[in-house]
Chain A
Amino acid sequence: MASEITMPKLSDTMEEGTLVSWKKSVGEKVKRGDIIAEIETDKANMDLEAFVSGVLLETLVKPGEVVPVGTVIALVGEAGEKPAAKSPVEPERKPAEVEQPKPQEIKASLPEEEKKAEKTEKVAVDISGEEKASPLVRRMAREKGVDLGQVKGTGPEGRILREDLEKYLEAPEKAGKEGIVEPPEAISEAAGAEGKVEPFTRMRKAIARSVVASWRTIPHFAVSISVDMGAAEAMQRSLREAGVSVSINDLIIKASAMTLRKHPRLNASFSDDGTVLYPEINIGIAVSVEGGLLIPVVENSDTLSLKELAAKSRDLVERARQGKISEPEISGGTFTVSNLGMFGVDEFSAIIYPNQAAVLAVAAIHDSVVVREGRIVPARMMQATLSADHRLVDGTDAARFLSDLKKNLENPLVMLV
């Protein structure tokens, strides 16, 4: 019977490890003590030795993949033991797109995001379930919404191999994949009442794509804070009197940029190798336009003076609304501000633009009363809500950011120096 090789625990504090490379290939003989793989945890690489002799029957984890300690990464068995019933390598079967119903087409246009989602998601191992399968296969099945009971296993003792799952997923629609959950953007025709299908515009499709990628891969959480905008409004008025036109949103962008300088991990991206910290602070402004929204980016928002920033954002927002904005002007953002204040909303939270670390959702400034030194006084209050990627930062990081942002907005003179 085949022996399972698992991701070793190389430290008390090790929870997962990266499979860097395989040192033996499938079918190759393995002697006890031979190095079969290279594992990385933190900044240390470990040559993994085989503890049994035999033949490497199957590798279940690909180089570069991160898996929890204890995950079965390979099977070693006796020579001749048929493990995977490896089907001869077929040329990749392209699903006949013509035959596919609409929702599949949409799905087919998303392969990159989906692949990425698979790669970056690190989900705890699910050890429940009757079917024999490695945690990796279970995870894939869960992500794809497949009931493993429906998949035929061809591995030892009916074990469900990655190939089995992939084959199942590739199988044509008619095979009846009851277990598969349709992607959320698909319009379910079984919903009962007949609805009229309004085809997606290109912009709508693009928005759907990026929010799905974001929602699937980024574990969002949101933290809110109340900001007294009285001083900021007063400063805006005096600037206007001096002939400088600055919007409240410009102040919020400037304050966010200054605050990000102090909190670099919110001006960042998640990657398999770690947090990618961006040297530049490029803030995207969510702008509602005909048929959707665009996010023009103010590059180096932190180094621009308030006046420069205001001019730049006015120009970008105007051109975005007129549809006269170029691709580079809406890419390269490292953080986003979304302001629905003009609609009088009290508060809301936003979805993170994929690969950014956070988005700030800004609500309306409204008349309110606050208690200051034991007295009730009127105030101009505004709610700001930060949605952040929990893989990169924790609640305390978001809270500290908001607290510093509040300080900057409540003492707006700091933005002038």
Chain B
Amino acid sequence: MMKIRDLGLMDFAGAYALQEQLAEDLFKGLEAETLLLLEHPPVYTIGRGGSEKNILDDAVEPIRINRGGDVTFHGPGQLIGYPIIDLGARGRDLHRYLRFLEELLIRIAGDFKVKANRFSGRTGVWTGQGKLASIGVGVRRWITMHGFALNVSTDLERFSAINPCGIAACPVTSLEDLCGISVPMEEVKEAVRRHFDPLFRQWLPVDRKSAACDA
């Protein structure tokens, strides 16, 4: 079973330090693979390759971090998932990992009767009303950091200060907007717990060969 830690509300810097620690310990074999679930206080982050042009409001000062993707917003009402896992032993395929995260989020949305899908060439999870979840991953020695941000009841106004993910006027939506009723964060976390393990085993099984090679 995947170890899942619910951190509640945690600031970006604290969560980042914890991820680094967990990744280091996982590499050394001191820690198991872990999924962190949390919410951040309002913060804008931008991937290393992201463009400042996508910040439309001068007041926004994003934190530049070691993940892929462009600028995005995190805040209360958005479920953050940071899986710290070892892809070195699970097929060493970054794109497959991204597709796995998308699948997980699509299933979760499905539990709330929301039809979400992939949009080829645009990693993330999309609905007819806009982008529901963003994905941005950082990998070192095949160990993952960062992950996904699923809008449950996020204040979507905050996205208007940026070109989300580098796409001008990219529509962003949330589960609550799509469902038209309030969606408790706890229920979404439950859905993550339900879906993560079986999908994880199915999409990213331990590959004995590469595990042996690494040792």
Contacts and interface: CB of A to CB of B under 8 A. Distances in A.
Q: Do the two chains bind?
A: yes
Contacts of B62: none
Nearest to B142: A46
Contact of A42 (B66, B123, B167): B123
B83 interface: no
Interface size class of B (residues with CB under 8 A): 20 to 34
A45 B138 contact: yes
Given A12-B96, A18-B49, A41 B66 contact: no
Interface in B122-138: 122-124, 135-138
A183 interface: no
A20 B141 CA distance: 17
B76 interface: no
A277 B165 CA distance: 12
Main secondary structure of the interface of A (DSSP, over half): strand
Contacts of B122: 274
Contact of B95 (A14, A64, A276): A14
A278 interface: yes
Interface in B94-130: 94-98, 121-124
B201 interface: no
Contacts of A47: 66, 138-141
Contacts of B40: none
A281 B124 CA distance: 26
Contacts of A20: 48-49
Contacts of B68: 40-45
Contacts of B121: 274-275
A44 B93 CA distance: 11
B18 interface: no
Contacts of A21: 48
A239 B94 CA distance: 59
B51 interface: yes
B140 A274 contact: no
A38 interface: yes
Given A18-B49, A273-B51, A43 B98 contact: yes
A43 B168 contact: no
A38 B48 contact: yes
Given A45-B68, A45-B138, A276-B168, A13 B49 contact: no
Contacts of A49: 141
A103 interface: no
A40 B95 contact: no
Interface string A140-156: 00000000000000000
A208 interface: no
B77 interface: no
Nearest to B99: A13
A13 B96 CA distance: 8
Interface in A11-68: 11-14, 18, 20-21, 35, 38, 40-47, 49, 64
A279 interface: yes
Contacts of A44: 67-68, 94-95, 97-98, 136-139
B94 A14 contact: yes
B134 to A, nearest CB: 8
Given A20-B48, A38-B48, A273-B70, A45 B95 contact: no
A10 interface: yes
Interface of A: 10-14, 18, 20-21, 35, 38, 40-47, 49, 64, 273-279
- The 10 A-B residue pairs whose C-beta atoms are closest, nearest first, are A11-B95, A43-B123, A44-B137, A47-B140, A43-B68, A279-B169, A10-B94, A43-B69, A44-B94, A45-B68
Given A11-B96, A45-B47, A276-B167, 5 more contacts: A10-B139, A38-B66, A44-B139, A273-B49, A273-B51
5 contacts: A42-B123, A43-B47, A43-B124, A273-B51, A273-B70
